[in-house]
Amino acid sequence: MDFNFTEEQQAAVEAARAVFSGVVPDAVPSPALVPGAVAEDIDRPLWAALAAGDLLSLTLSPEHGGAGLDLIALCLVLRESAKVLARVPVLETCTVAMAIQRYGDEALAAELLPAVGRGELVLTVGANGRSGHDPAELAVTARPDGDASGADGDASGADGDASGADGDASRADGDGGNSSETVWVLDGVQSAVPWAQTANWIAVPAHTGEGRAVLALVSRGQDGVTIAEQVSTSGELFGEVRLDAVRIGRRELIDAAGAWEWLHALLTTGTCALALGLGEAVLAMTSQYTGKREQFGFPVATFQSVAVQTADRYIDLRAMEVTLWQAAWRIATGGSGALPPAGDVAVAKIWASDGVRRVVQTAQHLHGGFGADTDYPLHRFHAWGKQIELSLGPAAAHEEALGNLLAAHSLD
């Protein structure tokens, strides 16, 4: 069994390191010093550099201008991005693009995905629902046009009113409605949507009258879409996306079985990659500091209590790493296991959430008061670490999900 990364995956890491090498975590104001968001937009120069380096098209198929790589390659890039707190929606854009490519309308994919790879479009996804505690798809309803009761119907056979279309869906900038016959109406709220004000398209999970989970693609400027400003723990601009009778066409609704669940697994696994990269950067920062900081004439790194704490955090990172690659491998290859891939994703997120919290807390402890200095970047990593820990559910939520899977599947 070969556990090494392929040449293509290693090349992706090298390209990512080259692009992220010039990024500094303190390029924007400290979230501790500003009352609102640290910036109104993503890092556009970095976004352009990622596109120029073919990193945004990494997981797209060659027919859409991509390299045809898998989730493992994307996680390798995300790991590098977190080491410098890169302010770009690589996770959201690439995973939504992967879902469109796998489950979406072929014509829409042909229009949107090449532009995504060129960095011309930004995609995001509402994965937190109304509160972040309940399944995201329950926060939005999707009903066939003309069905006031919200009962489910067959999207391919609905008699939607073509006159209700709001524009031309083929416009890849996502600023208008669609030209395809309007057959679905969306109502509800998705909170804490990353960079919602910047994204051209927002993937919105929803539920039908029959209780099926579907995935709707909504353009930011579409009629009925309003976005209220929210600020994340890391200081980045998020949005509460409210949908009020938003009408979308047949091809903008992905109702293939398992599409939303697959996208959610991609997002969760990618979040684990971000946690790993951030944790590795923080532990390296702590090692450098304790190696130089002296007490009683000796570097504090030589003290047993310091060495033991950093060794424990190194073990956390290795556990985070092995569970991450297990989950990514199950999703990318369809490899078999005692539990469905969701079990591996839950284990990875449990370790990522608990591990990244312990790493940043230990780093703060070993840095002393210096860790809270806003002229030193550790406090930024702490804020991002807390954001990642809670994103898509804390460890307790995934422990519950894992328990449910264990109860439902016999391991005899």
The yes-or-no verdict on residue 245 having pLDDT over 90 is yes
pLDDT at 1: 54
pLDDT at 157: 37
Kindly report, residue by residue over 340-382, the tens digit of the pLDDT.
999 999 999 999 999 999 999 999 999 988 888 999 999 999 9
The yes-or-no verdict on residue 228 having pLDDT over 50 is yes
Nearest alpha carbon to residue 4 among 76, 80, 95: 76
Nearest alpha carbon to residue 180 among 284, 252, 245: 252
Mean pLDDT (whole number) for 123-133: 93
pLDDT at 177: 46
CB atoms under 10 Å from CB of 382, counted, come to 24
Mean pLDDT over the full length of the chain: 91
Q: What percent of the chain has pLDDT over 90?
A: 82
Distance CA 404, CA 412 (A): 16
Residue 181 is given by DSSP the state: P
Mean pLDDT (whole number) for 234-249: 97
pLDDT at 173: 53
- Using DSSP's 3-state secondary structure scheme, residue 234 falls into coil
CA distances from 373 to 33, 114, 319 (A): 11, 43, 30
DSSP-assigned beta bridge partners for residue 242: 189, 226
Token pair of 2 as six digits: 């070969």
pLDDT at 412: 58
Distance CA 178, CA 255 (A): 18
Distance CA 111, CA 201 (A): 13
The yes-or-no verdict on residue 87 having pLDDT over 90 is yes
Token pair of 27 as six digits: 């390029």
209-218, 259-268, 403-412: the lowest-pLDDT one? 403-412
Nearest alpha carbon to residue 118 among 214, 53, 204: 53
At residue 299 the predicted structure's pLDDT band, cuts being 50, 70 and 90, is confident
CB atoms under 10 Å from CB of 30, counted, come to 16
pLDDT at 296: 86
The yes-or-no verdict on residue 329 having pLDDT over 80 is yes
User: Tokens 């809270």, residue?
Assistant: 372
Contact at 8 Å (CB) between 169 and 249? yes
The yes-or-no verdict on residue 39 having pLDDT over 90 is yes
DSSP-assigned beta bridge partners for residue 231: 237
Residue 319, Cβ density class (10 Å: 0-12 exposed, 13-18 middle, ≥19 buried): middle
The yes-or-no verdict on residue 131 having pLDDT over 90 is no
Mean pLDDT (whole number) for 82-91: 98
Distance CA 106, CA 101 (A): 8
Question: What interhelical angle do 71-82 and 259-292 show, nearest 10?
Answer: 40
pLDDT at 151: 41
The yes-or-no verdict on residue 134 having pLDDT over 60 is yes
State the greatest distance between any 2 C-alpha atoms of the chain, in Å, as a whole number.
Answer: 81
String of DSSP letters for 109-142: HHHHHHHHHTT---EEE--STTTSSS-GGGGEEE
Distance CA 214, CA 192 (A): 19
Q: Are strands 225-231 and 237-249 parallel, antiparallel or unpaired?
A: antiparallel
Distance CA 324, CA 120 (A): 30
First-to-final CA distance of the chain = 25
The yes-or-no verdict on residue 201 having pLDDT over 90 is yes
Kindly report, residue by residue over 261-298, the tens digit of the pLDDT.
999 999 999 999 999 999 999 999 999 999 888 788 88
pTM, two decimals, is 0.91
pLDDT at 371: 85
